Structures are given as structure tokens and as C-alpha cells.
Amino acid sequence: MSANTGSSQSKKLPGALLSNLALRFRLFKRKYSTPSSYKKLFVTIVMYLLVFGLAFVFIYPFLYMIVTSLMSNSDLNSSSVHWLPTELKFENYSIAYQLLKGKMYAINSAKVTILATAGHVIACSFIGYGFARYNFPLKKLLFALVILAFIVPTQTIIIPSYLSYANIKWWNEAKFLESGFYAAAPHIAGAVNKVMNSLFGNGWLNTYYPFIIPSFFGFGLKGALYIFLFRQFYLTVPKSLEEAARIDGCGFMKTYWKIVFPLAKATLVVAIVLSIVWHWNDAYEPGIYIDSPSKQFLPPRIRVLVEAANAAPENQTEMMRNLGLEDGEDVLNDAVIMAGAAIISAPVLVFFAFAQSQFMQGIERSGITGE
């Protein structure tokens, strides 16, 4: 009995589906039966085509990167292979990861990115609140300087910044050696001096201080933009909330930290996403301030793959042997470069995938769209 019922229901499914499609077609025809509705339909179709075209422009580089990274050497040299590799060569990722020395340099990048982002969020939200709520001398001039700091490229101030960071010394070895502590306990003082001089005695060059310390003062990479974002949001917060908090006995800091700052969740996500992406991908400033190979960041290491792919065949063979890879199809080519680019891009892409909804809400609420 149940089997017959099931078979009869399965026979009814195509008919029900056809009737449903027919009903939807009649509704569509009724909705677009007038000249004005035809115009509206045409505009909708054109808008969707434009959106798909723009989406393809942005998606194309990622598709090309992924497809190329999975190609073998024969696929790269074949004129008949464009988008579908004859085989998926995941070994390219292993080769790229080993050449990049991904773990060590990824830790360096992550450490600086997280600390600099934390500094920007804390300092820029506080500064933006001050610009949004308080009147003080030269307020307009200072905010104009903030906007100017965002407009001026980093390259124009890199020389004075380099000289400033080179001359910053938190530890004066000469004065310490003349102190009474050194005379009383020379062995202990010598060890302390050695440690402190190595950390703070040679300026900020070849350290992570130029990327981290300025961010806690609202400066650093694109810090002015985050101040602008928070200011725009705080201008939309009703002042009655802060007045009610003051009536309840909250001071300035408690009002800001307990009442106002939690409301900026969407703007906070925007600042975090932009700061992480820009700090992670930055290759210009690390190339200026960092000399030690062990302190370099992961994104600039892409040049290692480019140099390896363009090296002479005998040098490539030596590199492959040093990586412990057998001779054969594995070679250093454009597929390895694209695999390395995918490895470098993966952390920020994954992070943005989880934060994109909050990111778009923050963009809408921060005044960037002009609304």
C-alpha cells in the first residue's frame, strides 16, 4: 500500500512542478504586461549584467591564480590548456610553501599585524571620539591635518621617518656604564646592559617598532582613515545617551568605554578588516626598515619564488634537490609562483569571508558611501 502511494506521489510531482512553473510564468507576464513594466524589466536586466561584469573583473584574478597554481609544466606550455588543467598538481603548493619558509615568516607577519591592528583600534577610536564630541582649540586645523595625513603617500615621508626611527634610542649605554649600579654589581649590570642595548640601543631600524608603536598613537599605516571612520560614526550617536550616562554618574572614560565604544561594532569591524589586510600585504615599509632575513614578513617573500622560477635550469635543479624533491615533472615555474601567491593571500581572504557582512554594514554606517 505504501509503495503504491509513493509511486503515485512520484508521478504527480512532474505535473505539480509544471503547474507551478506555469503559474509563475503567468504572474511574471502579468507583472510585466505594461510599457512601464517593460522599461523596468529592461533596466533590471541591464543592472544585473553590469553587476555580473564587474564581479567577473574582480573574480578573474583569483580564478586565474587558483587555476594556474594547479597546472603542471606541460599544461603551462600547452596552447590548448587555458582553464582546465589536464591534472591537478597540488605539489606546487608544497614546493611554494617550502621556498617561502611559510611558517616562520607567517608568524612574523601575524604578530605585527595583530599588534598594529590592536593599536589602531584602540587609539583611532579614542581620537575619533574626541573629534566628534569635544570642542578644543585648533580642532578644525588638526582634523584637516588628519585628512592630509591620509592623502599624503607614505613614499613622500619615508626619508624623514627613516631618519627619525634610526635616531630613536631608548637605552643610553654610556650613562648606564657611569651609573652606581654598574659600579656596585658589574657582572649583573653588564648582562642587563647587553640585553637592553640589543633591544633598545640601536634605534628602531631592523625592529618591529616602526609598525607597532605609531599605531598606538593613531599614526602608522592608514591610521588617519580609521580616525575618520570612527569620527563619522560617533557623529551619528545621539548625545542623549552620553548625557544619561553622566546623570548616572559615569565619567568621561566610563561613558566612552561602556556606552559609546560598544555601539561602534560595525565600524570596529571595518577598521579591523582594513588594518589586517593592509598590514599583512604591506611590502614597502618592511623593505625599508627590516634588514635581517629572519625578521622579514611573508608577502615580500614572493620575490623568492619569482627569482627561483627565472633562475637557470642548473640552479633550479639544485634548489629542488635542497628541498628534497625528486627529479621529474616538478619544476619551478609560474604555477609555483601562483601557488605562493595563493598561500600568501589565503589568511586575509578567509578572514574577510567571515567578516564581510559586518564589513559592509560598517561601510554603510561610517559615512563612506555619502549617505
Mean pLDDT of each 10-residue bin along the chain, 371 residues long? 48 60 66 67 84 88 90 82 83 87 88 94 93 90 91 88 82 60 64 64 81 90 90 89 85 86 87 91 90 88 85 75 63 86 89 77 57 42
Q: What is the pLDDT of residue 2?
A: 46
Are 193 and 176 in contact, with CB atoms under 8 Å apart? yes
DSSP 84: S
DSSP 250: -
Q: What is the pLDDT of residue 202?
A: 64
Reported as type and span, the H/E element at residue 251 is none
Per-residue burial over 168-188, b if 16 or more Cβ lie within 10 Å, else e, is beeeeeeebeeeeebeeeeee
Report the amino acid identity of residue 352.
Answer: F
Q: What is the pLDDT of residue 108?
A: 92
DSSP assignment of 192-226 equals HHHHHHHHHSS-STTSSHHHHTGGGGT-STTHHHH
Q: Which CATH architecture has domain 97-365?
A: Orthogonal Bundle (1.10)
| Spatial distance between the Cα atoms of 5 and 207, rounded to a whole number of angstroms | 76
Q: How many CB atoms lie within 10 A of CB 102?
A: 17
The set of cell numbers assigned to 76 is 603551462
> Length of the chain, please?
371
Going by C-alpha positions, the residue among 280, 295, 127 that lies closest to residue 209 is 295
Q: What is the pLDDT of residue 243?
A: 86
With a CB cutoff of 8 Å and minimum separation 6, the contacts of 31 are: 37
Q: What is the pLDDT of residue 230?
A: 92
Q: What is the pLDDT of residue 370?
A: 44
With a CB cutoff of 8 Å and minimum separation 6, the contacts of 85 are: 67, 70, 71, 72, 75
Predicted TM-score (pTM) of the model is 0.75
Q: What is the pLDDT of residue 155?
A: 87
| Spatial distance between the Cα atoms of 96 and 319, rounded to a whole number of angstroms | 12
The set of cell numbers assigned to 222 is 592608514
Are 100 and 301 in contact, with CB atoms under 8 Å apart? yes
